Structure 1
């Protein structure tokens, strides 16, 4: 397996800072292994806790459906050019039951066949492109697609979570875990 770049390493429970160890134990229990991105993130207990906490909040406290959550995570990752997270959320989207056509469109950074989900993906791209400075028309398009202001704010939770891992992967060039390699972006686009 290749190694991260810029002096980063993939930590396990024995090499991680002490404050990261209990979080890695929970991650390993949930996934059955420690994904490379979280092994790299473990270098900073604060970054690891922030990512894992935002993930938990996204899954359990937002108004976004599991499919909408995956659209946010995959749209943000693709638009930010994070191949690691695109592969990871392709797999997550498949497990969630996200339509294969929706997944493929997200991987190709194009409009989705489902108008409601497309509004979610478009909002994510617009947030990134406009650095959060949405126009009234951007917000209204999201609302007109049947979404709420609560969901708009909940999208920011997912965008924040993905910004953490996307940027970490960018600076560390995190290698894909073996189970994710078939989902690598260059396999589909």
Structure 2
């Protein structure tokens, strides 16, 4: 049971109702994270706005999911691990071994570039982005650039909002996401 109210369209503050309607229409259900974020309409707006911006950053969709899953694992957010696992496997058709490696924070043997990205994301988080020259050089040698590095930080910032809200609220995982938990 959540420590915070999980809003429906009807129970949400008026300022959050249109966003909940849009999410319901797009997904067929309202993820509990969105219902919790509705307690703070500006946080919900931030999530939706930054999520849209993150969705058009310089990383590929698969690379964005590497960042999101890595961040969710580091931040201990089972809800976001499940949600992004579903996106990675079902929507993007990412290989199961890649997703399993991300969830375990282990090496991605089948894709050196994604492995470098996952390790870079992990270092950004654990070292508060105070990376060594060698870490940056390894990231750049894998084919990434300065814009990509900053977009990793953008993705981590979005993930942190969601992960922390879920962690404080103890948001239960929706039945639609349970198979990916």
Whether the TM-score (by the shorter chain) exceeds 0.5 is: yes
* 8 Å contact kept, 1:37–1:174: yes
| 1:82-139 Cα deviation digits (max 9, x unpaired) | 1111111110101211111100001111121211111111111111111122222221
**What TM-score comes out, normalization by structure 1 length?**
0.91
Work out whether 1:88 is the aligned partner of 2:83: yes
Contact 1:67 1:97 survives alignment (8 Å): no
Of the candidates 134, 138, 141, which is equivalent to residue 144 of structure 1? 141
| 1:187 corresponds to | none
For 1:79, the equivalent position in structure 2 comes to 74
Please say if 1:57 is aligned against 2:41: no
Give the match's secondary structure for 2:55.
Answer: helix
Two-structure CA RMSD over aligned residues (Å): 1.0
* Runs of 5+ consecutive residues of structure 2 not aligned to the other structure: none
Distance 1:169 1:120 in 2: 25
The number of residues matched between the two structures is 179
Q: Hey, what does 1:134 align to over in structure 2?
A: 131
**In structure 2, C-alpha distance between the alignment counterparts of 1:81 and 1:93, rounded to whole Å:** 18
Give the CA deviation at 1:170. Answer: 0.7
Instruction: Determine the structure 2 residue equivalent to 1:163.
Output: 160
2:57 equivalent to 1:68: no
2:21 paired residue number: 25
- Return structure 1 stretches of 4+ with deviation > 4 angstroms: none
User: Residue deviations 1:42-72, cap 9 Å, x none?
Assistant: 1011111111111111112x11111101111
Which string of whole-angstrom CA distances, capped at 9 and with x for unpartnered residues, describes residues 136-175 of structure 1?
2221111011111111111111111100010011101100
SS in 2 for 1:111: coil
Please, which runs of 5 or more residues in structure 1 have no aligned partner? Answer: 185-189
